[in-house]
Amino acid sequence: MSETVQMQGLAQVEKGRSLWQDAFARLKKNKLALTGLVVLIVMVVLALLTPWIAPYSYEEQDLSLGATPPSWEHWMGTDIFGRDQLTRVLYGSRISLMVGFIATSVALCIGVAWGTIAGYVGGRLDAAMMRFVDVLYALPFTIFIILLTVVFGRSMLLLFLAIGAVEWLTMARIVRGQVMAIKHQEFIEAAVAMGMSRGRIMLRHVAPNILGPIIIYTTLTIPSVILLESFLSFLGLGIQPPASSWGSLISNGVETMEEYPWLLIFPAVTLSLTLFALNFLGDGLRDALDPRASLD
C-alpha cells in the first residue's frame, strides 16, 4: 500500500499536476459535458455583453406594436408592451446567472470553512458543529426564505444571503467527509511529524486534496440556486420589477400563455438549457475527477 502511494507521488513529481491533466482528458471525451461547458460559456459571455449586444434597450416600449410573434426584427417576439423579448431574456440571464454565482459563492465559503474545521479538529467540536447542520437540515428552508422576504421586504441582497445560507449545508457535509478521509493518510502524519503547523497543513495538504469534490458539488449547486431563485421570482417573491430574471419572465409568460405562448417558451427554454448545461457539466466533472463516485 505504502509503495503504491510512493509510486503515485513520484509520478506526480515527474508529470506535474497529472491528476488534473488526467481529469481534463477524461472530461474531453465526455461529449455531453463538453457541450454543457460550451453552452454555459456562451450564456455567460452573452450575459456579460448584454448592455452592448442587446438589440433594443431594456425599457424601450412600443405600445402601438403590442405583443407580436417572433420575427426578423424581434427574434423572440415582443410582450404586451411591445418590449423586445430577446432583450428581456438577455437582461434576465444577467440576474439569474449572477444570483447563481454569488449565492453559490456564499454557500461555498461557509460550507468549506465549516466542513474543514469540523472534519480537521474533530472530537466534540465536530460533533457539535455537525449536529447544528443536522438540525438546520430538518428545517423547511424554502418556507423560511419566503418568511424572510415577508419580514424584511424583497431585496436582492437578502435573496443572495438567504439562498447561500440554505445551500451551504450539503457542502459542509461533503467537505467534512473528505477531510476526515484525508486526515488519517500517511502524508498528513508525515507533515505533522515534521512539525508543520495545523493551518499550514490544512492549506498546503488538505485543501488541494478536497478540491475535486468541491468543484463537482459547486457545479451542481449553481443550477439548484438558479432554480430556487426562479422559483421565488415565479411566485413573485424574488426579483421585483422593473428588474426581471428568468423566473419572473416565465411567470409573466404564464399569465398570457394562451394568447402569446412565445413569451413563456423562450425564457423557459433558456432556463432549462442552462440547467441542462450545468447538470451535464457537473456529472461530467464527477466522472472525470472522481471515477469511483460515478455509480449514482
Binding residues for other proteins (CB under 8 A): 135, 137-144, 146-153, 223, 227, 230-231, 234-237, 247, 250-251, 253-254, 257-258, 261, 264, 268, 271-272, 275-276, 279-280, 295-296
CA 149 to chain centre: 22
Nearer to other proteins, 60 or 255 (CB): 255
Give the three cell numbers for residue 185.
493518510
Bridge partners, 78 (sequence order): 84
Q: How far is CA 201 from each of CA 32, 60, 120, 196, 282, rounded to the nearest angstrom?
A: 37, 56, 10, 6, 29
Give the nearest distance from C-beta 50 to other proteins in angstroms: 22
| 63 contacts 82 by C-beta, under 8 angstroms | yes
Confirm if 36 and 280 have CB atoms less than 8 A apart: yes
Closer of 184 and 292 to other proteins (Cβ): 292
Would you state the cell numbers that stand for residue 227, as one nine-digit string? Answer: 432554480
Overall size of the chain counted in residues = 296
Q: In the complex with other proteins, which residue's Cβ is closer, 56 or 223?
A: 223
Between residues 54 and 220, which has the closer beta carbon with respect to other proteins? 220
Minimum gap (Å) between residue 148 Cβ and other proteins: 7
58 or 276, CB closer to other proteins?
276
Closer CB to other proteins, 85 or 279, in the complex: 279
Nearer to other proteins, 177 or 236 (CB): 236
Residues 6 or more apart in contact with residue 124 via CB below 8 angstroms: none
Closest alpha carbon to 167 in 217, 212, 115, 221: 221
Q: Is 236 left (phi over 0), alpha (psi -120 to 50) or beta?
A: left
- Minimal distance, residue 145 CB to other proteins, in Å: 9
Closest distance between other proteins and the C-beta of residue 278, in Å?
9
Shortest separation between residue 18's beta carbon and other proteins, angstroms: 28
CA distances, 153 to each of 125, 150, 156, 201 (Å)? 36, 5, 10, 44
* Cβ atoms 175, 112 nearer than 8 A: yes
Q: How far is the CB of 3 from other proteins (least distance, A)?
A: 28
Phi (first) and psi of residue 96, to 5 degrees: -60, -45
Q: How far is the CB of 264 from other proteins (least distance, A)?
A: 6
What phi and psi values does residue 29 have, to the nearest 5 degrees?
-80, -20
Nearer to other proteins, 91 or 141 (CB): 141
Give least dist CB 234 to other proteins, A. 4
